[in-house]
Amino acid sequence: MTTGLDGVGIVPVLTAPTVEAAVVAGRALERGGITCVEMTLRTAAGLEAIAALSRETDLLVGAGTVLSRSQVGVVAAAGARFVVSPGFDEDVVDATRAAGMVSLPGVATATEIQRALAAGIDTLKFFPADRLGGLSTIHALAAPFTGVRFVPSGGVSDGNAAEYLAHPAIAAVSGSWIVPNDAVAAEDGDRIESLTTAAVAALVASGLPAPRRIA
């Protein structure tokens, strides 16, 4: 089971204080060439923002920071297409599958990767990537887990995104550097668009494909 994130390149992690701020950011991401977003549930606006982004943009919208089975049902009803969790929780995975979505659970160890594979999941969030050794650790884990695809999150930035994406075990990278909290809160769409455009241009300049839109 995969998330269908291959080809999206960058999955921005968006945390917004209001629905309006989330929509401004989402539209700016689209203008800058991004095709996917993880809208977190870290604020009171998170759930409604998922619904608004699903209605008002063409982004592939996922729900982030999903920690319980009960949250899965509400994000599915809001229009989320995939579910992101910081860790591996079998209840969340089962509920996500039952809701017709796919999970992107977080893993940090080989044991967690084996549990995820046993649950039928082969695309996994690697979190927190920078604290776990980054690309060198992913390279080491990819050797025994040849069919696993990783989405590193935590410490990913414009300085290392292209290097991550050049590795064959990386499905996409995840981070908030193109949607910084202060710009989102200020509804500064121009700044977010500029950061997004620069990030996409850096990928292309490195010989990587531009993010593609997922149906």
38 catalytic per annotation: yes
- What contacts 195, CB < 8 A, 6 or more positions away? 32, 158, 177, 178, 179, 180, 183
Residue 182 CA to chain centroid, in angstroms?
Answer: 20
- The closest alpha carbon to 169, from 203, 200, 135, belongs to 135
Task: Exactly one of 20, 30, 56, 125 is catalytic; name it.
Answer: 125
- The closest alpha carbon to 195, from 157, 148, 154, belongs to 157
Task: Exactly one of 20, 38, 48, 112 is catalytic; name it.
Answer: 38
Tokens in use for 97? 């599958």
The SS3 of residue 96 is helix
To the nearest 10 degrees (0 to 180), the angle between helices 189-205 and 19-32 is: 30
- The closest alpha carbon to 34, from 206, 189, 207, belongs to 189
- The closest alpha carbon to 184, from 17, 56, 69, belongs to 17
Catalytic residues: 38, 125
